[in-house]
Structures are given as structure tokens and as C-alpha cells.
Chain A
């Protein structure tokens, strides 16, 4: 299967703990996006990478959140000192480029529950 994969699929953690999620994009895709989806809402943009460069971050991405894409392949999203409000589905997507090529393919998501 050459689609976008995310790991883990589910994560339950206690408030104050750190968590890290991984996303493996489609291999030839140079763009990688992170979105957050809370219950009953559409996905909201968090950040995106072109190759290894992080080019945009949403205001939703507080300083407790950090994302990396060290070699322009997989990406990690870390949340430090988790809060109950961080409970959500975290979606990763990848695309081949921008504009007309920006068909974003989504992974299955990581569902985070903060107790």
C-alpha cells in the first residue's frame, strides 16, 4: 500500500504528558500537511512542509506543538504538556505540489484522547 500512513492510530495519555505522532507520506510527494479535527468540526490546518522546510504554521499551533520533517520524508508532530483541549483527531496529508497539483491525500489519522 503506497498511501499516507500514520502511527499510532489511537493514543490515550494523561494531562501533562508529551506525545509524538508520525506520518509517512506518499513517497514522491514533496508537500506534507498536518490538520486537527475536533468532534463535529471539519479539519483545521496546523502546518505544512515543502520537503524539509516548514513553510507555514497556523495560530492554532501553540508553542507546545512542534513538527519536524528532518529529511523531507516522514514527519513527526509532538505535543508537550498535553491538555484536555488537545483531544482530537490529527490528520496528515501529502501532495505532489501546489496549485493544480495540490490534490491532498489523507492518512487515517491519529486519535488523541487526553484524560
Chain B
């Protein structure tokens, strides 16, 4: 079984400032890692994913994340946020083996960008 921990439930930040949203996971097998964004009253949109290879992955809207196997982390970063980045961000994992491939999500981090 796997679990995902997002330690920060809310992150307030000023526009154009950098931001990091933290994600740690636990799993007995190798996993794929994902970040999704959810805007109010909408479904989830994939920001980026780590499958294998380079540990630094780039996603949409200027976001990037770095996979750190030793620390079992997959933190999301953006060097300069915009008001439109205000949303809920979810980190998720799925097992590399087996048939299920279901996603296990963290509890989410609310990013609030202000002027």
C-alpha cells in the first residue's frame, strides 16, 4: 500500500514570488508520481508526472518538480507565480507493478496568490 503526505494545507504567496509545495510519499514498491491541479468546481488537470529518467520534470504553466528517491519526495515548484495559479494542488502516486494503477492522492495544498 502507498500513502501521500502533503504537509502544507495552505500556502499563501504574493504574485511573482517563488513557491514550493511539498509532497512526500510512502510505498513498498516503485511508484509513478503525479501533480494535479484543481480549480474551483472543476475536475483535476495533470500538471506533470514522473515516470522514469531525469529526476527534474517540467510541466504545464511553468511548474516543475523534482523526484528525490532517498527522501521519498516530489516537491512542486514555480519560480514566479501568477494570480491565476490560485487553486488546489494534489500530489498522487500509482504503483509501477500490478494491474490496479489506481491513484493515491494526498490531502491537497491550497495555493493562494495575492497581489
Q: Contact check, A98 vs B101: say whether CB atoms are below 8 A apart.
A: yes
Q: List 7 A-B contacts (CB under 8 A).
A: A33-B103, A42-B90, A93-B103, A99-B32, A106-B36, A106-B43, A107-B43
Question: B43 to A99, Cβ gap below 8 A?
Answer: no
For B104, the chain A residues whose CB sits under 8 A away are 45
Contact check: which of B44, B99, B103, B107 meets A41 at CB < 8 Å?
B107
A-B contact count (CB 8 A): 64
Further contacts, 7 of them, CB under 8 A, given A31-B101, A45-B104: A42-B107, A45-B103, A48-B101, A91-B43, A98-B100, A102-B32, A109-B42
A108 and B46: CB pair below 8 A? no
A42 CA / B42 CA spacing, docked (Å): 13
B31 shortest CB reach to chain A, Å: 11
Pair B101/A99 contact, Cβ less than 8 Å: yes
Residue numbers of B with Cβ under 8 A of A are: 4, 32, 36, 41-46, 49, 51, 90, 92, 94, 96, 99-108
Q: CA separation between A106 and B32, bound complex, in Å? A: 17
B101's contact among A4, A95, A108, A111, by CB below 8 Å, is which?
A: A95
**Separation in Å of the B30 CB from the closest CB of chain A?**
11
* Bound CA–CA A55/B106 (angstroms): 24
A33 cross-chain contacts in B, Cβ below 8 A? 102-103
B105 touches A102 (CB 8 A): no
Interfacial chain B residues near A56, Cβ < 8 Å: 100, 102
User: Distance (Å) between the CB of B72 and the closest chain A CB?
Assistant: 18
Tell me the chain A residues, 66-115 only, with Cβ under 8 Å from chain B.
Answer: 91, 93, 95, 98-100, 102-109, 111
